[in-house]
Structure formats: structure tokens, C-alpha cells
Structure 1
């Protein structure tokens, strides 16, 4: 009895010790619990596949490094709320929307029709068990989506489209873990069963098609959890709420940009296949990009940028060489499409000596690096990520929007339809100068979304940094060459002249073979006063063969002025005003005058005049995350045609960075 009493007393003392410890500050606890309660928002990317039913002819979607499927790479958004109880049971509700990849054009057959998804979405309950910073869970709920059937003509072009809504159910499972700060990451599998819908095709002489989607999706996602609970929600005991340290070896940034552009009717006495239509028009584009970075080891970094893009430029991004919307990709869509725009490995070799601070930024991990260094980058990226930079005119999401303003427009930089390529860049950086060179894949033919290893492009750039009256400035000089499967302007004209029945665009397509295009660019920027900077570009290419990737410009000059708003108490605002003059080689203009079409332009005939552009904008900082920009552009001789225009374009841009 004495031993029993003594044991009980020790137990009481031990329990009391725990009670006393619970009154200590949270930092004194050895293993604090992670609380999963609260609201969250996030995004996901993954890979999926689906059965759409017999004879549905699913359109193959890009799988990048994985096989193409009816969905290919997938991505989208999610948001929800979770509540953790004292027994570690976690209940929640999550809603998500998922979008698929663009079509894999290299694998499209000659079927008379194709079916595909516009999107699919779910609203699900989640049941999990909290194991500290880990949360395994099961999920079940409702699902819905939209499919589309495209009927094709004999040449494979879409001439009729129908859409159907589907509803159904979903079940799945996953695991989520806290990874730092307010961020969590999750891996999840979903099976989605949607209802059958029938597409009637008898009007086209085809049998009806039953589309019965059954989707398998594996998703890797990240969520940002909001710790502050609204007043109408029961509070979580503060002793359980834990904030993990902010990460140092990885980062996450997000951008989103919505642009709406329109113009009133303008003079347009005739129009061709690639003309900007003369009647008034309004179009919008929308992108959301995640910038994910990981430090692999000292000097080694990996970056991944999945992006959702939706919308169209005017006329499907046609009609103007200096196109007015830098976000208008040549791969537009009515619904968002997911692409892994960048995946790249970067290794920096420090050469010793002075160091500089590296701030945290998209595709840039915070830390220190040697000023004198060699950097190697390989993977998928945009050529403009490394070349032709400019502090005042480079980003159509933040400053000038016109293609001829944010780039050396006569540089036909290698790219697929959204503007990205695969390759490698090597840079030697010194305090007052840098030398960089790159080699890249080029499209398989003009305006193709297929990048090929059979030929390529290269560029070398020298950058000089200086001070003029203690004001910083830079000058960049670049030389480039591309070898791609293109046709010769003079060659096509000569063949077409032998037979008036020949169509010159058919002739051009028939004579494509590996040919070179080379050129140069000069790019300068100079601060001239506090918060005021000047910029200018000049670029030229030989203009003998077809444009392969960028836009129909053989000579270009642009320049302007950028003013920050500190002078009127709006330090984060920016005013920009600038202009560009674009021109064509004699061979190029003769080809267009004969009825030829370029990448973006082609009126069927041509009264040649240089394309002249004026652009001005005011970027108003709403808060630290969002900026609204009002932009005006006047384009004289659009597509180099003095018979058409001028056209005034008004745009509004909402841009957010997180």
C-alpha cells in the first residue's frame, strides 16, 4: 500500500509538472503540435489521363517528358477550409478546378473529329488524421466538367465545335505536409467519374458520339494557409498554433496578369487572311504563373514555372507586326491551358573576390554570390530571360506592352508558340561587364509549336556597365543566327512568276529547307535623373528567308522614357512613353505584296510604309501586390500597309505579384 501510494503521488507530481509546463511559453515545448485549422488557397500541377468512350477520338494533349494522353500535364487552383479537433481528426472542404495541356500537334491523326476537355472541377470533403506536420487524408465529393468536340475538314482545320457539360462524383486520397512558413505541400490522387453525353453528328454525315469521361489524375500542389481566423469562427488554443521557420533553400512566387484591349473601327478598304479586322474589337488575356525554386547544393539551383494562360490577341494574334499585347500568345484558348513554361537547372561557379547580396525574387534564391562568376543554365526558358534585358522596357506585365517596345524586334529569337525554347546559356560576369552566349532549339517550321533538335539558334551578347555623371547605365550588343526549316522570299516569288495559277503561300511551303537567318541588336539604358530613365533599341536581320518564331520585322528602332512617381508622392507608380519604327527587307515586302502571309501579317496586297508605333502608359500601384495600368497605343500603317489604319488601341492591365 505504501508503494502504491508513493507511485500515485509520483504520478500526481508528474501530471502537475506537465500542467505547469503547459503554462510556459510555447517556445519551451520540445515538440509543439502543428494545427491544420484554417483557410487556405493554392495551386497544383500534375499528370492525368482519361477514357472518353468508344469512338470519341480523344485529342492527344502534351505530356512533356511523359507520354501524351487525353489530358497530358494538368494544373489549376484549389482553396478550402480545414478544422483540427483535439483527437487529431481533421475535417475539411476543398474546391478545385483543373485544366489540361495544349494539343500535341505532332501526334494528331487524320480523324474527322476530336474530343477534348475544357476543364474539370470538384467540390470534396476531406477526412484526415494529423500526425504533427503530416496529414494523410481521404477525399470524396461532387465533380463536374466540360468537354468539347471539334469537327474537322479534309485539311484538318476546325469548322464546327460543340460543347457539353458533365456532372458526376470523385474519390481520392493524399498526404499533405507543412514545409515552411505558412506553406504546405500535398500529393493527391483523384478518380473522377462524369456522366455520359451524346454529341449529334448526323448533320455532318457522321454517327453520334457518346462521350463518357473517366479521369485519373495525380496532382502535386502547394497551399498557403491563413493563420488568422475570422471572428465568427471558434478560436484555436494558441498553445497549439505553430508557425514553421521561413525557408532558406527554396522559395515560391506567383504572378497573375489580366489584360483587356480594344480599338474602335478604323480605315480598312480590304482585308486578307492575316489582317487586323477593320471593325471594332475587344479581346482579353489572362495568365497565372508559379515560380518555384530549390537550392540543390552550394551554387546549384533548380527552377520550375508552371503557367496557366487563357485568352486571345486581336484576330488570334494576327494583323500587326509590333503586336500591342505582350501577353497575347500565338497559342491562345477560350479556357486556360497549362504549360510547364520553365524548368531549368542553374550552376554558379564563384571566382572569388567581392560578393554581392542576392534578394529573394522569382527564379532567384536569396543569398550571396561572387561578383566575378561563371553561370551555366540548361533547360526550358525564354531567350529573353537572359538576353536583350532592359530596366525600363522588358516586361509586358509591368511596363511597355508592345512587342516592338520590350524586345529587339528584328531578333527572331527561337521559341514555340508561347515564346519558350530549350537550350543552354553560359555567362561570365565581371563588375563592369558581362559576356553571355546561348544555343537553343528552334521550331520545326515557321509558327510551329514543335521544337526540334535537327537545327538550332545561337546568340552572343556583350554587356557593358558604366556611370555618366554618377548615373548608372548599360549597353548591350548582340549577334544572332538561326538555322531553321524556312523558305526564301525571292525563291518563292521566282517560282510563282512562272505560273499565274500557283498560290504563293503554297509555293513557299513547298520550298522550305534548312536555311540561315542572322542579325544584330543594340540595346541601351541610362538613368538621367532620380527616378527618370531613357532606353533605346536598334535591331536588324538579313530579311531573305521566312521569319521562324517571333514576328514579321527585319529592321526596328525603339526608344522612350520611364518616370517613377516619387516626384508626385506615388513612389511605386510609373509613367512610360515611347515609340518604335519597324521595317521590312525588299524581298520580304515584295513577298507580302504578291499575296504572301507571314507569321502575324498578310493583307493579300501591300502599299508599303514603315509600321510606326506610339505607346504611353500609367501604372498605378493599388497596394504592395497589385498594379493597374492604363495603356494607349497608336499604330500607323499596321502590317506595313499605308492603305489601312491608323488604329488606336486602349488597354487596361491588372497585375499582381506575391
Structure 2
């Protein structure tokens, strides 16, 4: 995992001899040697493609983001291989890879309803490569065996909602060609076209009244990739033997996180599909992210973060307002899905005066910058990347896992199902304070994966930096307002009481129109002594209209302690303990009590009490940049219902990064 990378269109800005991969380069002679391609490598790729599954197969339209949707659209994955350069310029090699498509394009799917839809879940290949080395440039041809997994979703009467997935594995062959170029240090970049032809598979859908369907995949993939070249001894530190000079013009970082969770039987006298199952459950999530950055000009930087995600939160990320797994997306998937989670331009305008050093890090290029500066960010990102930060409770991959612990729970920040949006942020930074504001797209409806320009979300945050008894701390205060397509709780409850034959959730959908939600949060972090810190958050929203994006919380208090292991001789370890209390407005309570459902919760009825959460974890440093975490969460009155629970949730976490 420490060498994993993935890639995207940012490669166009990386192709010169001055490219650099974070802090992996070291001093080398100024005279560039003839490049030699022999050795092991590992890397990642990102690209675009299309597929034909045969006649009358109704392909799922996958997301193309800035490109048209197609049967595969944006795709990405991992590869590893070995090259052997013969005497002279001929290079032969072998490579294995796996490529995963992106999620479905909801708007395109709604425009093409059908009794069923066909898709490909992934493609794997093992291929030979024959190349001709022109020093740092290597054209090649490739071919070998391929396999993949297709599935058909039989749809509901609306022709869109999947009901019965049926899947099969299919084998075949692949062929392609490409160019690979040595960038700097031990990094190479490649562009590759690959054709994949899989065997025909007949799906018997007669049980659904649809007869038989022949799925005959023909897939076209265009990939841009990065490879890290190890040489013949992949276990040796890369910095000990760089192949080319380095530069500070770009960097690469990556992370991978596996997070399993489970709980046993709980008290559950009644339930709905959005309730935690009474019999207990076990689920797991896995994410792998590449963080690619490039310096474009003075003060201008571009960042791109493709991410693979697989798995589900407990009950499909339903049943808790303060949900237990910060890695669990509402867009869970049985097979990995690739998304271009972040792509944004960052421009800093220095105002002169004192400067500060900037360390190489994910989405951060090393160098120096003016402390007094104005920064503009435009693109796709998570609102939490720039707002509501906290040194002790912010990253579910490293610290607290519960949603109400790493975020201000009542801040309904704009986001699609994985938690990202598009917009702009501007920040004025001074030595002792900063003020920042943002304007973002919001979902087209509650829990929608479609972001819209028709309405928007705004937030303004003031950050104050201080020291108490020479111990540093920060206080952040934010105010926010969203305008979105939501229903009013009081109106829906009144209409349901007047029309008892109608379903309250159907009434809520019909009641949706452009409405606002506003509120505030206060966020404190304070170091008490060296390697011991305290955090606290309070947040509130008006609670009159439906939640759009985050979770079903209108009032929240949270806080706790973070203690580094330096106090017992393990400086890489961390202990955290904290708690949260979540609540609802009166209008929101009445809606749930009448049988309404929210983004994550709704038991069909409600014996209201505040939702109370205790979380404790120990993060153990296995080796540098690899941690294993044991986590326990006690949730009393899950989903604000005193008739349910309590529930004890046990979690593990394996996290690697470089």
C-alpha cells in the first residue's frame, strides 16, 4: 500500500523532466544517465471508456463528469508488473491490472427507463508487453487474458429502481498499445488504449417475465497511469536508489483504509427498513485514494483525487443519526467504484511580510508562502476540507469514526452521496486569525447524488488562534445557510393528519420546493499539555425543513480528549475518548413520530429521547504510516428512539498512507 498511486488528467502538467513525487526523490548526479527499464513496478490508472453489451441489453449510463456518460465512462484501478530490458533497446514484461467503472449517472438513467439494465462491475487482465526503449520514452504493445463480472438489475415498475441484481463472471482476451515515459525519481507515466473482449453469457430472466438476454461485452478503455519503479529489489527503500533527478513541481500521496464494524442483537420491538436490524449485523468499507498535486505557476496549484470505494455501512448506512462509520458512503457498492472525488484549482495571493514553511503532504505542495495571504479555491471538494477543521477530531481514517464526532453534526453541509460538492472558497489569512467563506452546489433533493446550480449553500467561518499558558489552541465559529428542494415538516404533518389514507413520505415528496435552512457551529481545539488535546463542538440549525445532505441532526454537542502515545513510550499511537449528544427540533420529531423518514433514520414511530454516543479508540502504529485501530461506540436511543437499543458497536481499522 505504501507505493500505491492512481492518476488522472493532471498528467498533462507533469510530463517534463522536472516532475517530482513528494519527498521520494533524493540527491543524484547532475548528469542524467541512460534510463533502464528493468524491474518491478506498481501503480494506478484513471481514464475513460465505453462498452457494448449486445443487442437490447440496456447499458447502465455511468458517470462521465465533464465527459459524456457511457457504459463504462470514467474508470480507474491498479496495476503491477515487471519489465526486463534485454541487451539493446527491446523490453519485455508482464502486467496484471484491475479496472473499475464509476457510479451510475442518475439524470441519464431517469431519461432511459427500462425493465432491466446491464453493467460491468470490473475488468481484470494479465498481459504480456513488448516494448522498444527510446531512453526515457517506451512505446509498447500488449495482450493477454481478461475476465470480468457483469450483472443485470431487474427494475421496479418505474424502470429505474433496481430490485433484483443477477451477476456472472465472464472470461476473454485483451489487446492494446501504449506509451510510457520516465518522469523523475522512480516515477513513470503512461497512456494506454486497451480493447477487452469477453465471452457471451446468457442471463435467464424468465422468472421475472423477461425471457433470456445475451450479454456479450466489447469494452474500450483509454487509461492514463502512474507507475512507481522499484528495480529488481522492491523491498529496498526507494530513496536509496532514485533513477532520475527530482523536482518540487508535483507530488503524489495515497491512502488505503479498511474499516469493519459490527454489533450484536438489540432491543427492537418495531422497525422499518431505515432501522438498525434487531438481530445485529456486520459490514465493512474499503477506500483507496490517490492525492495528485501539480504547481502550475506562481501561487497556482491543481489537485486531483481519484478514489476507489467499496462496501456498506451498517444497514446500508441507515439507522443512526450520529452514524458510526465516517468512511461509509450513502452510495455504497458491492464492487469497488471509482469517482473523481476532488479536482480543484488553488490560487494564493501573497500579501508580503513574514513567511512560513509548507511541508509536503496530501493536497499540499512543499515550499514557502506568505503568512498574510488571500487564497481562492474553485472546483470539486468536500466542504470539510476547508471548514470545521479540528486537529483531534476530523479524520475518520485516523481518529474518531462517528459522524457526530468528526463534524459539527447539525451543519447540513452541501454534498452528494459520497460527501463532495462543487463550488468556490475564498480565505483571508493572518498570523492570529483567518476568515473564509464558501459558495457550493446542493443536491437536487434530499439524499440525491445530483448536484444543481439552481440553489446553493453558503458558509462563513472565523478562526481565531491563541495560546493559554503557552499551549496552542484554535476557536472556529461558522454560520451557514442552504437553499434547496425540501419539504416543510409542519406542513407535511398537517397534510398527513388531514389525509390519513396518504403515506406521509409521499406527501413530503409532493411538498418539496425551494426552502432555506440556516444555523451555526462553534468548534474548539486546545492543547492541554504536550501531546494531549481537548476538542469540543456545538452546532444548531433551525430544524423546520428537511435535511438535504448530511444527517438527521438539528442540535449537537460533542467533545473529548486525544492523547498521543509519547507518554508511554509509543509516540506513534493515539488514544481518543469522546461523546456526543444529538437532538431534533419539535417539528422534526413530529414528522418522524408520524411515520416520516429522514436521510438515515425513521422507525415508523418515535418515543423521542436525545441520541447519546460514547466513542473510545486506540490507534496502534504498526510501522511508519500504517496503523491498526480498535474502536468501541455505545449509542443510547439510536435514531432518537427510547424504544430501541442501546447498541454497542465494535470496529477495527487498518489504515496505510504515504
User: What's the offset of the Cα at 1:273?
Assistant: 2.5
Between stretches 374-383 and 175-184, larger displacement belongs to 175-184
User: 1:435 & 1:268 partners in 2: Cα distance?
Assistant: 47
SS in 1 for 2:572: strand
1:297 is aligned to 2:301 = no
Which residue number corresponds to residue 221 of structure 1?
225
Which residue number corresponds to residue 19 of structure 1?
none
1:465 is aligned to 2:504 = no
Which residue number corresponds to residue 495 of structure 2?
495
User: What's the offset of the Cα at 1:581?
Assistant: 0.1
User: 1:168 & 1:645 partners in 2: Cα distance?
Assistant: 50
Residue pair 2:32, 2:244 contacting (<8 A) in 1 also: no
Larger RCO: Structure 1 or Structure 2 (Cα < 8 Å, ≥ 6 residues apart)? Answer: 2
Q: State how 1:577-592 maps to structure 2 within 5 Å.
A: 577-592=577-592
SS in 1 for 2:315: helix
Q: Given the two structures, how large is their TM-score scaled by the length of structure 2?
A: 0.94
Residue pair 2:30, 2:245 contacting (<8 A) in 1 also: no
User: What's the offset of the Cα at 1:242?
Assistant: 6.6
Which residue number corresponds to residue 135 of structure 1?
138
Q: State how 1:166-245 maps to structure 2 within 5 Å.
A: 166-229=170-233, 243-245=243-245
User: What's the offset of the Cα at 1:28?
Assistant: 8.0
The C-alpha deviation readout for 1:68-118, integer Å capped at 9, x for no partner, is 000110000000000011211100000000000100011112200000011
The C-alpha deviation readout for 1:355-406, integer Å capped at 9, x for no partner, is 0000000000000000000000000000000000000000000000000000
Q: 2:164 aligns with which of 160, 164, 174?
A: 160
User: What's the offset of the Cα at 1:245?
Assistant: 1.7
1:544 is aligned to 2:551 = no
The C-alpha deviation readout for 1:600-658, integer Å capped at 9, x for no partner, is 00000000000000000000000112100000000000000000000000000000011
User: 1:29 & 1:384 partners in 2: Cα distance?
Assistant: 43
Q: State how 1:513-532 maps to structure 2 within 5 Å.
A: 513-532=513-532
Q: State how 1:302-341 maps to structure 2 within 5 Å.
A: 302-341=302-341
User: 1:326 & 1:607 partners in 2: Cα distance?
Assistant: 27
SS in 1 for 2:505: helix
User: What's the offset of the Cα at 1:213?
Assistant: 0.4
Which residue number corresponds to residue 152 of structure 2?
149
Residue pair 2:35, 2:136 contacting (<8 A) in 1 also: yes
User: What's the offset of the Cα at 1:29?
Assistant: 9.4
1:118 is aligned to 2:121 = yes
User: 2:121 & 2:477 partners in 1: Cα distance?
Assistant: 44
Equivalences, count: 626
SS in 1 for 2:257: strand
User: What's the offset of the Cα at 1:497?
Assistant: 1.1
User: 2:266 & 2:275 partners in 1: Cα distance?
Assistant: 12
Residue pair 2:73, 2:101 contacting (<8 A) in 1 also: yes
User: 1:549 & 1:247 partners in 2: Cα distance?
Assistant: 41
User: 1:161 & 1:87 partners in 2: Cα distance?
Assistant: 52
User: 1:104 & 1:402 partners in 2: Cα distance?
Assistant: 29
C-alpha spacing 1:408/1:125, structure 2 compared with 1 (3 Å):
same
Which residue number corresponds to residue 476 of structure 2?
476
Which residue number corresponds to residue 16 of structure 1?
none
Residue pair 2:38, 2:232 contacting (<8 A) in 1 also: no
The C-alpha deviation readout for 1:113-136, integer Å capped at 9, x for no partner, is 000011011100000011111111
C-alpha spacing 1:224/1:491, structure 2 compared with 1 (3 Å):
same
Residue pair 1:35, 1:242 contacting (<8 A) in 2 also: no
Q: State how 1:43-62 maps to structure 2 within 5 Å.
A: 43-62=44-63
- Superposition CA RMSD, Å: 1.5
User: What's the offset of the Cα at 1:247?
Assistant: 2.8
Q: State how 1:438-453 maps to structure 2 within 5 Å.
A: 438-453=438-453
Between stretches 459-468 and 103-112, larger displacement belongs to 103-112
User: 2:280 & 2:601 partners in 1: Cα distance?
Assistant: 18
Which residue number corresponds to residue 234 of structure 1?
none
User: 1:247 & 1:553 partners in 2: Cα distance?
Assistant: 47
C-alpha spacing 1:490/1:342, structure 2 compared with 1 (3 Å):
same
1:654 is aligned to 2:658 = no
Larger Rg: 1
User: What's the offset of the Cα at 1:499?
Assistant: 1.5
Q: State how 1:225-624 maps to structure 2 within 5 Å.
A: 225-229=229-233, 243-624=243-624
User: What's the offset of the Cα at 1:230?
Assistant: 7.2
User: 2:402 & 2:182 partners in 1: Cα distance?
Assistant: 42
C-alpha spacing 1:332/1:29, structure 2 compared with 1 (3 Å):
closer
Which residue number corresponds to residue 628 of structure 1?
628
Which residue number corresponds to residue 72 of structure 2?
71
Residue pair 2:28, 2:242 contacting (<8 A) in 1 also: no
User: 1:154 & 1:182 partners in 2: Cα distance?
Assistant: 54
C-alpha spacing 1:475/1:30, structure 2 compared with 1 (3 Å):
closer
User: What's the offset of the Cα at 1:153?
Assistant: 1.6
Q: Given the two structures, how large is their TM-score scaled by the length of structure 1?
A: 0.94
User: 2:567 & 2:272 partners in 1: Cα distance?
Assistant: 48
SS in 1 for 2:207: helix
Between stretches 26-35 and 410-419, larger displacement belongs to 26-35
1:643 is aligned to 2:643 = yes
Q: Please, which runs of 5 or more residues in structure 2 have no aligned partner?
A: 1-26
Residue pair 1:32, 1:242 contacting (<8 A) in 2 also: no
C-alpha spacing 1:28/1:476, structure 2 compared with 1 (3 Å):
closer
